[in-house]
Amino acid sequence: QVQLVESGGGLVQPGGSLRLSCAASGIILSINAIGWYRQAPGKQRELVATITSGGSTNYVDSVKGRFTISRDNVKNSVYLQMDSLKPEDTAVYYCNIRGIGWRALGRYDFDSWGQGTQVTVSS
């Protein structure tokens, strides 16, 4: 029952910055994959950024050089720093974490999603 709570979204002008946070609760034994997704109106959800267990990162071409994904293992949190924001970045952003958790019955695999946070880039 790993739960993800997102924060940091809001309204920002083009060229501005936002930092999205995703905090995980529950007992996590290991994390296998972390990703940020976004879904704009009328469009499919797309994978924006990932960070692997080894720390390597990948980004969709449209955000390369502007977005940075990071993690804090102590806080069980993942972040998405978004700089030089553009109107086309407007979307609901979701964090996703997959891993192994601990529950009363023992270990289990989890695939948890945040509730989504709105990012609006507009003048």
Structure tokens that stand for 30 in this block: 């290991």
Residue 115 per-residue DSSP state: -
Structure tokens that stand for 27 in this block: 């007992």
- Residue 9 confidence (pLDDT) above 90: yes
The pLDDT, as a whole number, for residue 53 is 79
* Cβ within 8 Å of residue 77, ≥6 positions away: 21, 22, 23, 24, 71
CA angle, 65 then 63 then 88, to 5°:
135
What pLDDT, in 10s, does the model give residues 15-59? 999 999 999 999 999 988 999 999 999 999 999 999 987 889 999
What pLDDT, in 10s, does the model give residues 92-117? 999 999 999 998 899 999 999 999 99
Tell me how long the chain is: 123
Name residue 93's beta-bridge partners: 38, 117
Structure tokens that stand for 109 in this block: 């695999």
